[in-house]
């Protein structure tokens, strides 16, 4: 499959990477509910076998557990993907998560240990919160890069203003924003800024946390586990839920013409934007990975893209 260089780095990424949020498991503030570690490892192995060359995780996913599962998976495969992780969300002994950019060096050491690597390929500030701490935090990130503990440094969920502020301290390799048909906020200023400044973009939630897979139903939503964060997400509640499932049905029909799922079409729609380097796609088991792997090569025609844009405009999405 084709690869694209990420920003100012030397990393050539496959169009989709393996996202490790859900495999952190249940029992924490932003979980996707219970998850079997063996299924997670099988999903990672399948993604690597099918050619995916990067994994995105974060310290906070499962409060360290996602990073540990990634490490376990890599011990039993000959594939050597790029490993990306994030900092800036910390937790206490009560497992309560807070934003803090005061402990990045400690967080980096903890992530290196959990991931069992000598260096993190891309280290990202997860959220620019508190805002007044981002300059100091970026200075620490730059120091970690100079020391060789991380190879490249990036941000996630940063605004144009916040990126401009920290660029005065050290270059930004990448930004990781949410981007899907149901969340297009970054199109106005963030994506153009990244494209102009050669900041790579790896978007998360291209299928909007499962809503655009074509497999989501109202019944599934009603039966989410109590610790699945999506139970309280606005796009999973009416009246938006019905609208969003209709979007999934529409793009599913486009997918049927070319024997791919609605989810693959949703991912391809994000990759159509010239500022997007690659998309993060989660998978909770090997079967799910096999279902989305066509997104690594599938591309929308201009006619198909225009058809989707017309639908989104008419339906105020």
Q: Which residues are catalytic?
A: 61
CA distance 299 to 273: 11
Structure tokens at 137: 């935090």
CB-CB contact of 275 with 192 (8 Å): yes
- Give 10's contacts (C-beta < 8 A, 6+ positions apart): none
Helix or strand (DSSP H, E) at 190? helix 190-196
Task: Find, among 304, 315, 312, 300, the residue nearest to 15 by Cα.
Answer: 300
Work out the number of other CB atoms within 10 angstroms of the CB of residue 247. Answer: 22
Q: 182-203 in b/e burial notation, b at 16+ Cβ within 10 A?
A: bbeebeeebbebbeebebbbbb
End-to-end CA distance of the chain: 31
Q: In the chain, how long is the greatest CA-to-CA distance?
A: 53
């Amino acid at each position: 499959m084709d690869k694209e260089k990420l920003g100012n780095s030397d990393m050539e990424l496959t169009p989709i990477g393996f996202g490790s949020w859900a495999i952190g498991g249940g029992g924490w503030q932003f979980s996707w509910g219970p998850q079997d570690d063996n299924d997670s490892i099988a999903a990672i192995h399948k993604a690597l076998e099918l050619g995916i060359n990067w994994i995105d995780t974060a310290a906070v996913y499962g409060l360290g557990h996602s990073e540990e599962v990634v490490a376990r998976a890599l011990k039993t495969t000959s594939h050597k993907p790029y490993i990306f992780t994030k900092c800036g969300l910390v937790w206490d002994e009560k497992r309560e998560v807070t934003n803090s950019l005061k402990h990045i060096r400690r967080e980096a050491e903890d992530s290196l240990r959990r991931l069992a690597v000598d260096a993190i390929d891309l280290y990202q500030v997860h959220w620019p919160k508190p805002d007044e701490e981002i300059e100091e935090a970026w200075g620490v990130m730059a120091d970690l890069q100079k020391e060789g503990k991380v190879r490249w440094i990036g941000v996630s969920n940063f605004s144009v203003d916040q990126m401009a502020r920290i660029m005065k301290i050290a270059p930004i390799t990448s930004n990781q924003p949410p981007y899907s048909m149901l969340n297009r906020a970054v199109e106005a200023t963030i994506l153009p800024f990244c494209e102009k400044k050669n900041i790579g973009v790896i978007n998360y939630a291209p299928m909007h946390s499962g809503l655009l897979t074509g497999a989501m139903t109202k019944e599934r939503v009603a039966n989410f586990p109590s610790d699945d964060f999506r139970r309280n997400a606005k796009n999973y509640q009416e009246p938006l839920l019905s609208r969003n499932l209709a979007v999934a049905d529409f793009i599913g029909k486009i997918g049927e013409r070319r024997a791919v799922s609605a989810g693959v079409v949703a991912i391809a729609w994000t990759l159509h934007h010239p500022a997007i380097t690659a998309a993060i796609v989660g998978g909770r088991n090997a079967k799910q990975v096999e279902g989305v792997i066509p997104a690594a090569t599938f591309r929308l025609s201009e006619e198909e893209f225009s058809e989707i844009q017309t639908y989104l405009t008419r339906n105020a999405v």
